[in-house]
């Protein structure tokens, strides 16, 4: 292929800019022309498409968010929307597309694949919940952002001998909670994949207090329930006066970590390698520390993202 395009879709994630940059720079390195599509699938259908030079991606590697902007565009779930998108790509003479986004964006890429349009998807979401990869672009930055807050909350929790509930993002996935729970030494991690017993949690906090523990930090994945509801439930089993912190969208922002920048760069370059030889219908990932590409339709149909629940057990063994 000689002319390809790139778009970002769904929730933004730190490292998306680094991935776009890699697609553009590697594309040019391989003698291709690279186009950028603004506002995800919405911009694709509207024809909001422009040629990107090497310089257009200068000074972007360190920035969070996505300079191509992102959008939610439910109309792309319809065949009409998908065919309009392909029509626009053909109008610009674009032969292949790189989509960077979460599972909804992957569905869009799979739909393009079903229509025979060569598409490569890269996993970009802080939730880390995409099948076919151990890690997604943005996850490492998000957990480091959360960790910074956990460390700060620990200071105040210790000073006041208090229980803190920190609600973290992740939609229905527990990855952010698991990683930040272990890294932050939280006494409890509560995630959708593992049942919990509120009375047991309360008892563990109580026992810790009796041993002279000055604080209890509970990391709660948003997919379980919201932090205030959790605090109310917990209070039924003791007078904990738990304080709730909902970290919210700060978790999506910030300059990407070195790890996210490298992952984004490697993923972006691999997407170009694949499209260059005419290979589409794929999603790129990292599995057991190796970069892999899989059939996107098969991946969506047969694979499910599983968080590393061994971290939960580990945390119980070392952070009680």
Query: Is residue 105 part of the contact set for ligand ATP (CB under 6 A)?
Result: yes
Would you say 288 is a known binding-site residue? Answer: no
**Shortest CB 298 distance to ligand ATP, Å:** 16
Would you say 72 is a known binding-site residue? Answer: yes
**Shortest CB 79 distance to ligand ATP, Å:** 9
**Shortest CB 27 distance to ligand ATP, Å:** 23
Which listed residue (127, 134, 140, 175) is catalytic? 127
**CA 87/CA 47 separation, integer angstroms:** 9
Of the candidate spans 25-33, 85-93, 105-113, 159-167, the one that interacts with ligand ATP by CB under 6 A turns out to be 105-113
Would you say 55 is a known binding-site residue? Answer: no
Query: Is residue 114 part of the contact set for ligand ATP (CB under 6 A)?
Result: no
Known catalytic residue at 127: yes
Smaller CB separation from ligand ATP, 18 or 242: 18
Of the candidate spans 67-75, 196-204, 262-270, 292-300, the one that interacts with ligand ATP by CB under 6 A turns out to be 67-75
**Shortest CB 33 distance to ligand ATP, Å:** 25
Of the candidate spans 22-30, 97-105, 151-159, 288-296, the one that interacts with ligand ATP by CB under 6 A turns out to be 97-105
Catalogue the active-site residues: 127
Residues near ligand ATP (CB under 6 A): 9-11, 41, 72-74, 76-77, 101-105, 107-108, 111, 125, 127
């Amino acid at each position: 292929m000689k002319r390809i395009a790139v778009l970002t879709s769904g929730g933004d994630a730190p490292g998306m800019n680094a991935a776009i940059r890699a697609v553009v720079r590697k594309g040019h390195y391989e003698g291709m022309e690279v186009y950028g599509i603004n506002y995800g699938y919405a911009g694709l259908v509207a024809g909001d498409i422009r040629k990107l030079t090497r310089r257009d991606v200068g000074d972007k590697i360190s920035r969070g968010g996505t300079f191509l902007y992102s959008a939610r565009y439910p109309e792309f779930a319809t065949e009409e929307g998908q065919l309009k998108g392909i029509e626009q790509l053909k109008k610009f003479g674009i032969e292949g597309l790189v989509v960077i986004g979460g599972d909804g964006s992957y569905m869009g890429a799979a739909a393009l694949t079903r229509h025979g349009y060569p598409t490569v998807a890269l996993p970009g979401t802080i939730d880390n919940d995409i099948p076919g990869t151990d890690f997604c672009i943005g996850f490492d930055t998000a957990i480091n952002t959360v960790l910074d807050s956990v460390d700060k909350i620990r200071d105040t929790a210790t000073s006041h001998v208090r229980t803190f509930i920190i609600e973290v993002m992740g939609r229905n996935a527990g990855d952010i909670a698991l990683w930040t729970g272990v890294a932050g030494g939280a006494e409890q991690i509560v995630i959708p994949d593992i049942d919990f017993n509120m009375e047991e949690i309360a008892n563990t906090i109580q026992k810790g207090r009796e041993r002279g523990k000055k604080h209890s930090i509970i990391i709660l994945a948003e997919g379980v329930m919201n932090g205030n509801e959790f605090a109310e439930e917990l209070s039924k089993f003791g007078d904990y006066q738990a304080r709730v912190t909902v970290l919210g969208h700060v978790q999506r922002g910030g300059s990407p970590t070195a790890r996210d920048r490298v992952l984004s760069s490697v993923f972006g370059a691999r997407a170009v390698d694949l499209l260059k030889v005419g290979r589409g219908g794929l999603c790129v990932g990292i599995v057991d520390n190796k970069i892999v590409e899989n059939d996107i339709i098969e991946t969506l149909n047969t694979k499910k993202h599983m968080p590393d629940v061994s971290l939960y057990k580990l945390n119980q063994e070392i952070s009680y």
